[in-house]
Amino acid sequence: MTATPAAAPEPADPPPGGLTHLDSSGAARMVDVTRKDVTARTARATGRVLVTPEVVALLRGEGLPKGDALATARIAGIMGAKRTPDLVPLCHPLALSGVTVDLEVTDEAVAITATVRTTDRTGVEMEALTAVSVAALTVVDMVKAVDKAATITDIRVETKTGGKSGDWHRDSASAATGASPGDREAAPRTPLGPRTALVVTASNRAAAGVYPDRGGPLIAEALRSWGFATEGPQVVPDGAPVEAALRAAVAAGYGVVVTTGGTGLTPTDLTPEATRAVLDREIPGVAEAIRAEGLGAVPSAALSRGLAGVAGTTLVVNLPGSTGGVRDGLAVLERWLPHAVDQIHGGDHRPAPARTGAGTHPEPGTSGSAETAGSPS
Protein backbone atom coordinates (compact mmCIF):
# COMPACT_ATOMS: atom_id res chain seq x y z
CA MET A 1 0.00 0.00 0.00
CA THR A 2 1.39 3.33 -1.06
CA ALA A 3 1.72 5.81 1.77
CA THR A 4 0.03 9.16 1.29
CA PRO A 5 2.63 11.91 1.24
CA ALA A 6 2.45 14.13 4.28
CA ALA A 7 1.29 17.67 3.65
CA ALA A 8 4.09 20.17 3.50
CA PRO A 9 4.27 22.18 6.72
CA GLU A 10 3.30 25.82 6.61
CA PRO A 11 6.38 28.05 6.47
CA ALA A 12 7.16 29.27 9.96
CA ASP A 13 7.18 32.89 10.98
CA PRO A 14 10.52 34.67 10.72
CA PRO A 15 12.61 34.74 13.88
CA PRO A 16 12.22 37.77 16.16
CA GLY A 17 13.95 40.75 14.62
CA GLY A 18 13.67 39.30 11.11
CA LEU A 19 11.90 40.75 8.10
CA THR A 20 8.18 40.32 8.75
CA HIS A 21 7.26 40.17 5.05
CA LEU A 22 9.39 37.03 4.55
CA ASP A 23 8.61 33.64 6.03
CA SER A 24 11.30 31.29 7.34
CA SER A 25 11.91 29.94 3.82
CA GLY A 26 12.50 33.42 2.44
CA ALA A 27 9.23 33.59 0.49
CA ALA A 28 7.36 36.89 0.41
CA ARG A 29 4.10 36.97 2.30
CA MET A 30 1.44 39.41 3.46
CA VAL A 31 1.56 39.75 7.24
CA ASP A 32 -1.60 38.51 8.97
CA VAL A 33 -2.85 41.34 11.21
CA THR A 34 -6.07 39.61 12.31
CA ARG A 35 -5.03 39.45 15.97
CA LYS A 36 -3.80 43.03 16.15
CA ASP A 37 -5.86 45.60 18.03
CA VAL A 38 -7.77 48.29 16.16
CA THR A 39 -6.27 51.61 17.33
CA ALA A 40 -5.92 55.17 16.09
CA ARG A 41 -2.71 55.45 14.06
CA THR A 42 -0.92 58.30 12.32
CA ALA A 43 2.26 58.68 10.30
CA ARG A 44 4.10 61.71 8.97
CA ALA A 45 6.62 61.59 6.13
CA THR A 46 8.65 64.30 4.45
CA GLY A 47 10.69 64.79 1.31
CA ARG A 48 12.16 67.45 -0.96
CA VAL A 49 12.39 68.26 -4.64
CA LEU A 50 15.55 70.25 -5.36
CA VAL A 51 14.93 72.85 -8.08
CA THR A 52 16.64 75.85 -9.69
CA PRO A 53 16.12 79.47 -8.58
CA GLU A 54 14.15 80.00 -11.79
CA VAL A 55 11.65 77.32 -10.78
CA VAL A 56 11.40 78.79 -7.28
CA ALA A 57 10.50 82.16 -8.78
CA LEU A 58 7.91 80.60 -11.07
CA LEU A 59 6.36 78.56 -8.25
CA ARG A 60 6.05 81.63 -6.08
CA GLY A 61 4.55 83.57 -8.97
CA GLU A 62 2.33 80.78 -10.38
CA GLY A 63 3.99 81.11 -13.78
CA LEU A 64 4.74 77.50 -14.74
CA PRO A 65 3.65 76.31 -18.20
CA LYS A 66 1.47 73.51 -16.77
CA GLY A 67 -0.27 75.72 -14.22
CA ASP A 68 -0.47 75.50 -10.43
CA ALA A 69 2.15 72.87 -9.63
CA LEU A 70 1.66 72.91 -5.87
CA ALA A 71 -2.11 72.41 -5.95
CA THR A 72 -1.76 69.62 -8.50
CA ALA A 73 0.96 67.90 -6.46
CA ARG A 74 -1.11 68.17 -3.28
CA ILE A 75 -4.08 66.40 -4.86
CA ALA A 76 -1.77 63.80 -6.43
CA GLY A 77 -0.22 63.07 -3.04
CA ILE A 78 -3.62 62.51 -1.45
CA MET A 79 -4.61 60.20 -4.31
CA GLY A 80 -1.30 58.35 -3.95
CA ALA A 81 -1.91 57.64 -0.27
CA LYS A 82 -5.29 56.11 -1.09
CA ARG A 83 -3.80 53.90 -3.83
CA THR A 84 -0.82 52.62 -1.81
CA PRO A 85 -1.96 48.94 -1.75
CA ASP A 86 -2.14 49.02 -5.57
CA LEU A 87 1.48 50.20 -5.77
CA VAL A 88 3.13 48.35 -2.86
CA PRO A 89 2.15 44.67 -3.26
CA LEU A 90 2.24 43.51 0.37
CA CYS A 91 0.67 46.64 1.86
CA HIS A 92 -2.73 46.17 3.54
CA PRO A 93 -5.76 48.05 2.18
CA LEU A 94 -6.84 50.46 4.93
CA ALA A 95 -9.74 52.85 5.45
CA LEU A 96 -7.90 56.15 5.73
CA SER A 97 -9.66 58.70 7.92
CA GLY A 98 -7.51 61.64 6.87
CA VAL A 99 -4.69 62.61 4.51
CA THR A 100 -3.02 66.03 4.43
CA VAL A 101 -0.24 66.98 2.02
CA ASP A 102 1.52 70.32 2.48
CA LEU A 103 4.10 71.83 0.13
CA GLU A 104 6.36 74.75 0.96
CA VAL A 105 8.64 76.51 -1.52
CA THR A 106 12.04 77.31 -0.03
CA ASP A 107 14.95 79.07 -1.70
CA GLU A 108 16.26 75.80 -3.16
CA ALA A 109 13.52 73.20 -3.00
CA VAL A 110 9.89 72.25 -2.60
CA ALA A 111 9.49 70.73 0.86
CA ILE A 112 6.70 68.14 1.07
CA THR A 113 5.02 66.85 4.22
CA ALA A 114 2.29 64.21 4.30
CA THR A 115 0.30 63.16 7.36
CA VAL A 116 -1.99 60.12 7.19
CA ARG A 117 -4.48 58.90 9.81
CA THR A 118 -6.53 55.76 10.26
CA THR A 119 -8.17 53.64 12.93
CA ASP A 120 -7.19 50.10 11.99
CA ARG A 121 -4.97 47.09 12.74
CA THR A 122 -1.78 48.28 11.07
CA GLY A 123 0.08 51.52 10.55
CA VAL A 124 0.06 54.06 7.73
CA GLU A 125 3.78 54.76 7.29
CA MET A 126 3.73 53.41 3.72
CA GLU A 127 0.72 55.56 2.86
CA ALA A 128 2.54 58.66 4.13
CA LEU A 129 5.68 57.77 2.16
CA THR A 130 3.63 57.11 -0.97
CA ALA A 131 1.84 60.44 -0.62
CA VAL A 132 5.19 62.27 -0.46
CA SER A 133 6.61 60.23 -3.34
CA VAL A 134 3.67 60.82 -5.68
CA ALA A 135 3.52 64.52 -4.78
CA ALA A 136 7.25 64.80 -5.49
CA LEU A 137 6.90 63.02 -8.83
CA THR A 138 4.11 65.40 -9.75
CA VAL A 139 6.25 68.42 -8.87
CA VAL A 140 8.99 67.09 -11.16
CA ASP A 141 6.46 66.54 -13.95
CA MET A 142 5.16 70.09 -13.53
CA VAL A 143 8.59 71.77 -13.54
CA LYS A 144 10.59 69.57 -15.94
CA ALA A 145 10.02 71.95 -18.86
CA VAL A 146 12.03 74.54 -16.93
CA ASP A 147 14.35 72.34 -14.83
CA LYS A 148 15.17 68.94 -16.33
CA ALA A 149 17.55 68.23 -13.42
CA ALA A 150 14.95 68.57 -10.64
CA THR A 151 15.92 66.00 -7.99
CA ILE A 152 13.77 64.10 -5.49
CA THR A 153 15.58 63.49 -2.20
CA ASP A 154 15.27 62.81 1.55
CA ILE A 155 11.94 60.93 1.51
CA ARG A 156 11.53 59.46 4.99
CA VAL A 157 9.14 58.75 7.84
CA GLU A 158 9.43 61.33 10.61
CA THR A 159 6.85 60.11 13.15
CA LYS A 160 4.31 57.36 13.71
CA THR A 161 1.80 56.91 16.52
CA GLY A 162 -0.47 54.12 17.69
CA GLY A 163 -0.29 50.35 17.59
CA LYS A 164 1.42 47.83 19.86
CA SER A 165 4.85 49.35 19.27
CA GLY A 166 3.61 52.77 20.40
CA ASP A 167 4.88 56.11 19.19
CA TRP A 168 8.11 56.62 17.24
CA HIS A 169 9.81 59.91 16.42
CA ARG A 170 12.90 60.15 14.24
CA ASP A 171 14.61 62.65 16.56
CA SER A 172 14.11 60.52 19.66
CA ALA A 173 15.17 57.40 17.77
CA SER A 174 18.41 59.09 16.74
CA ALA A 175 19.12 60.17 20.31
CA ALA A 176 18.29 56.74 21.73
CA THR A 177 20.65 54.92 19.38
CA GLY A 178 23.45 57.45 19.72
CA ALA A 179 23.49 58.26 16.02
CA SER A 180 26.78 59.69 14.87
CA PRO A 181 27.23 62.39 12.21
CA GLY A 182 27.91 59.65 9.67
CA ASP A 183 24.69 57.75 10.34
CA ARG A 184 21.74 57.94 7.99
CA GLU A 185 19.70 59.47 10.84
CA ALA A 186 21.94 62.53 10.54
CA ALA A 187 21.08 63.13 6.88
CA PRO A 188 19.90 66.66 5.97
CA ARG A 189 16.41 67.29 7.32
CA THR A 190 13.53 68.68 5.35
CA PRO A 191 13.64 72.36 6.25
CA LEU A 192 10.90 73.63 8.52
CA GLY A 193 10.52 77.26 9.45
CA PRO A 194 8.46 80.04 11.03
CA ARG A 195 5.39 79.47 8.87
CA THR A 196 5.04 75.77 9.70
CA ALA A 197 2.64 74.46 12.33
CA LEU A 198 1.67 71.23 14.05
CA VAL A 199 -1.64 70.45 15.77
CA VAL A 200 -1.57 67.96 18.67
CA THR A 201 -4.78 66.56 20.17
CA ALA A 202 -4.40 65.18 23.70
CA SER A 203 -7.15 62.66 24.43
CA ASN A 204 -7.06 59.09 25.69
CA ARG A 205 -10.42 58.29 24.10
CA ALA A 206 -9.76 59.95 20.76
CA ALA A 207 -6.37 58.20 20.58
CA ALA A 208 -8.13 54.87 21.21
CA GLY A 209 -10.69 55.57 18.50
CA VAL A 210 -13.63 55.79 20.94
CA TYR A 211 -14.75 59.03 19.31
CA PRO A 212 -13.40 61.29 16.56
CA ASP A 213 -11.18 64.28 17.21
CA ARG A 214 -13.26 67.40 16.53
CA GLY A 215 -11.13 70.22 17.92
CA GLY A 216 -7.88 69.36 16.14
CA PRO A 217 -9.27 69.70 12.60
CA LEU A 218 -10.72 73.13 13.48
CA ILE A 219 -7.27 74.33 14.56
CA ALA A 220 -5.55 72.89 11.49
CA GLU A 221 -8.06 74.54 9.18
CA ALA A 222 -7.58 77.92 10.88
CA LEU A 223 -3.78 77.73 10.78
CA ARG A 224 -3.82 76.90 7.08
CA SER A 225 -6.14 79.82 6.40
CA TRP A 226 -3.60 82.08 8.15
CA GLY A 227 -0.83 80.94 5.82
CA PHE A 228 0.86 78.23 7.91
CA ALA A 229 1.92 74.92 6.33
CA THR A 230 0.14 72.75 8.87
CA GLU A 231 0.39 69.10 9.86
CA GLY A 232 -1.97 67.14 12.02
CA PRO A 233 -3.92 66.81 14.07
CA GLN A 234 -1.58 64.30 15.67
CA VAL A 235 -3.78 62.48 18.20
CA VAL A 236 -1.94 61.20 21.28
CA PRO A 237 -3.01 59.91 24.71
CA ASP A 238 -2.88 62.29 27.65
CA GLY A 239 0.27 62.76 29.71
CA ALA A 240 3.75 61.66 28.66
CA PRO A 241 2.91 61.22 24.94
CA VAL A 242 2.01 64.91 24.81
CA GLU A 243 5.44 65.90 26.10
CA ALA A 244 7.09 63.51 23.61
CA ALA A 245 5.10 65.03 20.74
CA LEU A 246 6.03 68.56 21.82
CA ARG A 247 9.73 67.75 22.14
CA ALA A 248 9.76 66.12 18.70
CA ALA A 249 7.99 69.14 17.20
CA VAL A 250 10.45 71.58 18.75
CA ALA A 251 13.39 69.48 17.54
CA ALA A 252 11.90 69.40 14.04
CA GLY A 253 11.74 73.20 13.99
CA TYR A 254 8.03 73.94 13.67
CA GLY A 255 7.18 77.61 14.01
CA VAL A 256 3.96 76.93 15.93
CA VAL A 257 2.50 74.02 17.89
CA VAL A 258 -1.10 74.27 19.07
CA THR A 259 -2.51 71.59 21.37
CA THR A 260 -6.11 70.88 22.25
CA GLY A 261 -7.32 68.90 25.24
CA GLY A 262 -6.00 67.91 28.63
CA THR A 263 -6.11 71.40 30.19
CA GLY A 264 -8.83 70.81 32.80
CA LEU A 265 -8.89 69.35 36.32
CA THR A 266 -9.44 65.62 35.83
CA PRO A 267 -6.60 63.29 36.89
CA THR A 268 -5.63 62.66 33.26
CA ASP A 269 -5.58 66.35 32.26
CA LEU A 270 -1.80 66.79 32.16
CA THR A 271 -1.18 68.89 29.05
CA PRO A 272 -0.05 71.97 31.06
CA GLU A 273 2.49 69.88 32.97
CA ALA A 274 3.78 68.31 29.74
CA THR A 275 4.01 71.75 28.13
CA ARG A 276 5.78 73.42 31.05
CA ALA A 277 8.47 70.71 30.93
CA VAL A 278 9.26 71.72 27.34
CA LEU A 279 8.97 75.53 27.46
CA ASP A 280 11.94 77.87 27.83
CA ARG A 281 9.77 80.96 28.39
CA GLU A 282 6.10 81.27 29.28
CA ILE A 283 3.74 83.93 27.86
CA PRO A 284 1.12 84.27 30.63
CA GLY A 285 -0.88 86.96 28.84
CA VAL A 286 -1.79 84.62 26.00
CA ALA A 287 -3.24 81.94 28.29
CA GLU A 288 -5.10 84.62 30.25
CA ALA A 289 -6.57 86.10 27.06
CA ILE A 290 -7.77 82.67 25.90
CA ARG A 291 -9.50 82.03 29.22
CA ALA A 292 -11.04 85.52 29.22
CA GLU A 293 -12.42 85.03 25.71
CA GLY A 294 -14.79 82.31 26.87
CA LEU A 295 -15.67 83.50 30.37
CA GLY A 296 -18.67 85.59 29.34
CA ALA A 297 -20.54 82.64 27.85
CA VAL A 298 -18.97 79.72 29.76
CA PRO A 299 -17.92 80.48 33.36
CA SER A 300 -16.12 77.12 33.57
CA ALA A 301 -13.54 78.54 31.12
CA ALA A 302 -11.80 79.79 34.26
CA LEU A 303 -10.92 76.17 35.08
CA SER A 304 -8.73 75.77 32.01
CA ARG A 305 -5.06 75.53 32.99
CA GLY A 306 -3.66 75.92 29.49
CA LEU A 307 -0.24 77.52 28.98
CA ALA A 308 1.52 79.36 26.19
CA GLY A 309 5.19 79.99 25.67
CA VAL A 310 8.31 79.55 23.59
CA ALA A 311 10.52 76.46 23.33
CA GLY A 312 13.59 77.15 21.25
CA THR A 313 12.09 79.02 18.30
CA THR A 314 8.72 77.25 18.51
CA LEU A 315 5.61 78.98 19.85
CA VAL A 316 3.51 76.51 21.86
CA VAL A 317 -0.11 77.24 22.81
CA ASN A 318 -2.56 75.03 24.75
CA LEU A 319 -6.26 75.28 23.86
CA PRO A 320 -9.12 73.54 25.68
CA GLY A 321 -10.55 70.29 24.35
CA SER A 322 -14.10 71.47 23.65
CA THR A 323 -14.92 72.84 20.21
CA GLY A 324 -16.26 76.00 21.85
CA GLY A 325 -13.02 76.46 23.76
CA VAL A 326 -11.05 75.85 20.57
CA ARG A 327 -13.02 78.52 18.71
CA ASP A 328 -12.49 81.01 21.54
CA GLY A 329 -8.76 80.28 21.50
CA LEU A 330 -8.54 80.66 17.73
CA ALA A 331 -10.27 84.04 17.96
CA VAL A 332 -7.46 85.16 20.27
CA LEU A 333 -4.64 83.62 18.20
CA GLU A 334 -5.83 85.19 14.97
CA ARG A 335 -5.16 88.68 16.34
CA TRP A 336 -1.43 88.29 16.94
CA LEU A 337 -0.06 84.87 15.92
CA PRO A 338 1.91 85.93 12.79
CA HIS A 339 3.36 88.91 14.68
CA ALA A 340 4.47 86.73 17.60
CA VAL A 341 6.10 84.18 15.27
CA ASP A 342 7.91 86.99 13.47
CA GLN A 343 9.28 88.34 16.76
CA ILE A 344 10.45 84.92 17.93
CA HIS A 345 12.51 84.72 14.74
CA GLY A 346 14.05 88.17 15.17
CA GLY A 347 11.44 90.50 13.70
CA ASP A 348 10.97 94.02 15.07
CA HIS A 349 7.93 95.43 16.85
CA ARG A 350 5.18 96.77 14.61
CA PRO A 351 4.27 100.44 15.18
CA ALA A 352 1.15 100.76 17.33
CA PRO A 353 -1.90 102.50 15.84
CA ALA A 354 -2.16 106.15 16.82
CA ARG A 355 -4.49 106.73 19.77
CA THR A 356 -5.81 109.90 21.33
CA GLY A 357 -6.91 110.88 24.80
CA ALA A 358 -5.62 110.25 28.29
CA GLY A 359 -3.49 107.25 29.05
CA THR A 360 -2.15 106.83 25.52
CA HIS A 361 1.51 107.55 26.17
CA PRO A 362 3.74 104.50 25.76
CA GLU A 363 5.29 103.05 28.86
CA PRO A 364 9.00 103.68 29.37
CA GLY A 365 11.09 101.55 27.05
CA THR A 366 8.31 100.65 24.61
CA SER A 367 9.04 103.49 22.13
CA GLY A 368 5.47 103.33 20.88
CA SER A 369 5.82 99.70 19.86
CA ALA A 370 2.98 97.25 19.49
CA GLU A 371 3.27 96.54 23.21
CA THR A 372 1.35 99.75 23.90
CA ALA A 373 -1.59 98.32 21.99
CA GLY A 374 -1.67 95.15 24.04
CA SER A 375 0.66 93.12 21.85
CA PRO A 376 1.77 89.82 23.41
CA SER A 377 5.38 90.66 22.66
Which of 332, 330, 327, 252 shows the shortest CA–CA distance to 289?
A: 332
Choice between 297 and 233, residue whose per-residue pLDDT is larger: 233
Looking at residue 30, what DSSP letter applies?
P
Q: For position 206, what pLDDT does the model report?
A: 87
Q: For position 203, what pLDDT does the model report?
A: 92
pLDDT tens digits for range 70-89: 999 999 999 999 999 999 98
- Which helix (H) or strand (E) element contains residue 248? helix 240-252
Peptide bond into 233 cis (omega under 30): yes
**What residues are annotated to the active site?**
141
* 241 and 210 Cβ atoms separated by less than 8 Å: no
Which residues make Cβ contacts (< 8 Å) with residue 102, sequence separation at least 6?
74, 112, 113, 114, 229, 230, 231
Looking at residue 369, what DSSP letter applies?
B
The pTM of this model reads: 0.49
pLDDT tens digits for range 360-375: 433 333 333 333 333 3
* 102 and 123 Cβ atoms separated by less than 8 Å: no
CATH of 192-353, one of 3.40.980.10, 3.40.50.150, 2.60.40.420, 3.20.20.140: 3.40.980.10
**Type of residue found at 38:** V
* 236 and 207 Cβ atoms separated by less than 8 Å: yes
Q: For position 357, what pLDDT does the model report?
A: 46
* CATH, range 37-168: 3.30.70.640
Q: For position 7, what pLDDT does the model report?
A: 45
* First vs last C-alpha separation in the chain: 94
SS3 state at 183: coil
Residues carrying CATH 3.40.980.10, the chain:
192-353
Residues carrying CATH 3.30.70.640, the chain:
37-168
Of 51-55, 88-92, 307-311, 350-354, which has the strongest mean pLDDT? Answer: 307-311
* 118 and 124 Cβ atoms separated by less than 8 Å: yes
